[in-house]
Structure 1
Amino acid sequence: MTYHTTRRRILGFTSCLALMGSLMATTGNSQASPTPQRAFTDDSASQSAQYAPLPSNQTFWDALALEPRDAWSRLAEAFEWQEDVDQARVQHWIDHYRQSPRNITEITERARPWLAWITERVEERGLPGEIALIPFIESSFDPTARSHRGAAGLWQFMPGTGHALGLRRGGGYDGRLDVARSTHAALDYIEMQAEQWYEGDIELSLAAYNAGAGTVNNARSAALSRGQTASYWDLKLPRETMAYVPKLIAISAIIAEPEHYDVELPRIEATPAIAEVPVTRPLKLDEAAHLAGISRTELAELNPGLLGHQADPRHVERLLVPADSAERLVARLSSGTSRRAVAADGDDVYVVRRGDSLSGIASRHAVALTDLARWNGIERLDALQPGQQLTLSGS
């Protein structure tokens, strides 16, 4: 069966060709996961309708209540490839994952912050739910994962592929490690390749995600010459790519029917635990954490792409924050008093005034000019702007 995408936006034909040409030059998105592949479990992949007694003032439909979903059951509802579970290659990987039950808890706990949010992004695009599990086989859901071949992040982007997809590197930032940005890029890439080369076939696009479109296209040509349909299951591909889609379906099969496979997943809420907040000005993690009412450590863990611990809008479009802190952070960032309020909390933040110079600020606060510039990621000493916030310590 061929699975097709429904695009939510129109890509310009010229820009699409240019980008695909760049991506064709790469050797594939990732060649090896940095950690062993593992099995996964689920505690409530199915759900049933519950019917409450009908008070005299209620209708049948008023009384109908669905059992609350968790993230795994929500994900399972979006699966589209379960008819391929009987494939021999899929069964091989189901057996493989079931032999490593002690790895299940580690992987699924690591997925806790990200799973529901990524599932929601996949749902928005109308993609098969299995796509949300790619980080399981790519990085074991470790957003800081790096392979020995140079791939990085949840989605294991190689440097060239990441660059072609707009995942910036430099200035204390690596977009491949940015969970939000890399997730959007990965889904864009999968949809774009499916439409550009494979008439919407997502399985073929996933093969290209792993091995490169050139490799897959050559394998398709060979399959057609043999009189085959040139679907993913007909292709002769590198060993890792031959296993790529079967691994994904095997994991999804276990999640769809956890009791059948005698496995169990930790409960994760179906509602995303994180939210994106636009970055509209240079923002130190210390300040952002203060405004959001969370710890700096928690914010840093949600934003591993910020290698320099500062979000600069020239490089970083959005921060990920706990969902219940997002509204507060947005409100305080947009408030004209938020900066003064932060400065008033202590002496470690200074709000630049008109006429200030970096050397003058350093002198008044008894810190070295070079330290002050380094702590704030300032390269041009004459580039201060009124209202800009400077940290006065390296902590």
Structure 2
Amino acid sequence: MTYRTIRQRLLLSAGSTVIMSLLLAAAANSQASATSYDTSPRATSTSSATNESRNARPSSFQMHFWEELMLEPQDAWGKLRESFHWREQSLPAEAQARVDEWIDHYRSRPENIVEITERASPWLAWITQQISERNLPGEMALIPFVESSFDPGARSHSGAAGLWQFMPGTGDALGLVRNGNYDGRLDVVSSTNAALDYLETQADQWYEGDLQLSVAAYNAGAGTVNKAKQRAESEGLTGEYWDLSLPQETMQYLPKLLAIATIIDDPERYDISLPEIHTEPAFAKVKLEHSVTLTEASQLLDVEKSALAELNPGLINGALNPSSAQTLLVPEDVDQQMLAELSNDSSNRQTATRDNAPDTYRVESGDSLSTIASRYNLSAQELMRLNAIDSPDALQAGQLLTLSER
């Protein structure tokens, strides 16, 4: 049984109990009112008519109860819209014109919006969750839309990388590990936490909590924004984002963000079709204290290796080493028992024994003779003998290996 299945059953059970309790309470109130009426024939007739009228028209309790149920967001987009804060601001005419210009731009290219939102599907629900837990404006969940088109593997010519496009030095300063096997800037969980920490810290340190200025500084650098703010204030302006004269890219940064949020807030108005994204994150996090390759994890969990690679772009060489990263992301619908087995240390788990091993194995890119042999409790020499292999270097992707003499 998967995590989502368990959760859905618990929610369904709890929801049913709440609904039944509320309906019973409503029935009890109705019954108590009925017993206080006069029982004369005339009163009975009046009471019957009143009850019929009640049955024909929902009570205020019923209307409120079902209205509350209907207002519950059904997907991640609904959750995101609920967390939008900046849309309620009244912008100066010139500022609104800058936003409208980008609305028209995106509206004229609906396929771009659709492509990027589909790319956001694995991540949006989780990022929105993190934004909400910090009580930040939901519009900030769309920063990766502007930064990387929601591509966790995106790299710029300047050296920025990942969903949030951290430069190497900034990533290092924020504690994002970077080595030959792992790049924390490409790790969606680590980089998202780092980005939100960075944005909040900047806002508090430099801008008295003004997150729009912090978003501008995220793009242009705090030094650039601070100078522009001082210049605006010396001219008698308030020094908010819309007062500043900044590099052209930064001048367009917040208008882009607000334009995207405006379209997502009312996609039908702009003839945009958003992909369905569940309210729960599309992945589960597995804490590991031992090394594992994506190939091994995919076989153990019965999940496509490509699906694991998509969720773990920070694992540059397709393997997790606890010295660099301790968390593997897996599809949320993976069986819990399989996850528990993966979490066990390799010295305590048996990935395959002589009795339960398959008879054959098809070599995948990145496999070596020794890793395959170890996985199936064979020696490299025995595996070579079973397959008439003269040299370990002769192994090729797609090759079918015999694993036993059965």
- Give the structure-1-normalised TM-score: 0.72
Partners of 1:368 and 1:132 lie apart in 2 by 54
Partners of 2:23 and 2:140 lie apart in 1 by 46
Return the match for 1:231 from 240, 249, 255. 240
Return the match for 2:188 from 165, 179, 199. 179
Tell me the equivalent position of 2:176. 167
Partners of 2:223 and 2:239 lie apart in 1 by 14
Tell me the equivalent position of 1:340. 350
CA-to-aligned-CA distance 1:281-320 (integer Å, 9 cap, x gap): 1111112223333111110111111111110011113111
Tell me the equivalent position of 2:74. 69
Tell me the equivalent position of 2:319. 310
Partners of 1:171 and 1:280 lie apart in 2 by 19
Task: Give the 5 Å matches for 1:13-162.
Answer: 57=24, 59=26, 60=61, 65-66=69-70, 68-84=73-89, 86=91, 87-162=96-171
- How many angstroms does 1:106 deviate by? 1.3
Q: 1:233 to 1:144 in 2, by over 3 A?
A: same
Higher helix share: 2
Partners of 1:169 and 1:352 lie apart in 2 by 32
Q: 1:56 to 1:239 in 2, by over 3 A?
A: closer
Return the match for 1:274 from 269, 283, 288. 283
Amino acid at match of 2:349: R
Say which SS state the counterpart of residue 176 (structure 1) adopts.
coil
- How many angstroms does 1:370 deviate by? 9.6
CA-to-aligned-CA distance 1:220-240 (integer Å, 9 cap, x gap): 111121111111111111010
- How many angstroms does 1:260 deviate by? 2.4
The answer to whether the Cα contact below 8 Å between 1:274 and 1:323 also exists between their aligned partners in 2 is yes
- How many angstroms does 1:345 deviate by? 3.3
Say which SS state the counterpart of residue 271 (structure 2) adopts.
coil
Say which SS state the counterpart of residue 263 (structure 2) adopts.
helix
Tell me the equivalent position of 2:9. none
Higher relative contact order (CA 8 A, sep 6+): 1
Partners of 2:280 and 2:74 lie apart in 1 by 9
Q: 1:182 to 1:53 in 2, by over 3 A?
A: closer
Partners of 1:238 and 1:287 lie apart in 2 by 48
The answer to whether the Cα contact below 8 Å between 2:177 and 2:324 also exists between their aligned partners in 1 is yes
The answer to whether the Cα contact below 8 Å between 1:276 and 1:326 also exists between their aligned partners in 2 is no
Tell me the equivalent position of 1:299. 308
- How many angstroms does 1:362 deviate by? 5.3
> Structure 1 vs Structure 2: percent identity of aligned residues?
54
The answer to whether the Cα contact below 8 Å between 2:213 and 2:225 also exists between their aligned partners in 1 is yes
Say which SS state the counterpart of residue 177 (structure 1) adopts.
coil
Is 1:350 the equivalent of 2:338? no
- Give the structure-2-normalised TM-score: 0.70
Instruction: Give the 4+ runs in structure 1 shifted more than 6 A.
Output: 52-56, 367-371
Moved more, 77-86 or 241-250: 77-86
Amino acid at match of 1:184: N
Amino acid at match of 2:112: N
Partners of 2:268 and 2:221 lie apart in 1 by 36
Say which SS state the counterpart of residue 321 (structure 1) adopts.
strand
Say which SS state the counterpart of residue 169 (structure 2) adopts.
helix
Amino acid at match of 2:24: N
Amino acid at match of 2:189: A
CA-to-aligned-CA distance 1:46-95 (integer Å, 9 cap, x gap): xxxxxx99996363476552355111111010000003475221111111
Partners of 1:119 and 1:342 lie apart in 2 by 40
Partners of 2:118 and 2:20 lie apart in 1 by 38
The answer to whether the Cα contact below 8 Å between 1:332 and 1:338 also exists between their aligned partners in 2 is no
Tell me the equivalent position of 2:330. 321
Q: How many residues align?
A: 317
- How many angstroms does 1:155 deviate by? 0.8
Partners of 1:223 and 1:258 lie apart in 2 by 36
- How many angstroms does 1:214 deviate by? 0.9
The answer to whether the Cα contact below 8 Å between 2:300 and 2:351 also exists between their aligned partners in 1 is no
Amino acid at match of 1:281: H
- How many angstroms does 1:352 deviate by? 12
The answer to whether the Cα contact below 8 Å between 2:373 and 2:380 also exists between their aligned partners in 1 is no
Q: 1:96 to 1:56 in 2, by over 3 A?
A: closer
Partners of 2:325 and 2:392 lie apart in 1 by 24
Q: 1:90 to 1:307 in 2, by over 3 A?
A: same
Partners of 1:370 and 1:238 lie apart in 2 by 56
Q: 1:349 to 1:286 in 2, by over 3 A?
A: farther
Of the two, which has the highest radius of gyration? 2
Return the match for 2:295 from 286, 297, 303. 286
Is 1:240 the equivalent of 2:262? no
Is 1:211 the equivalent of 2:215? no
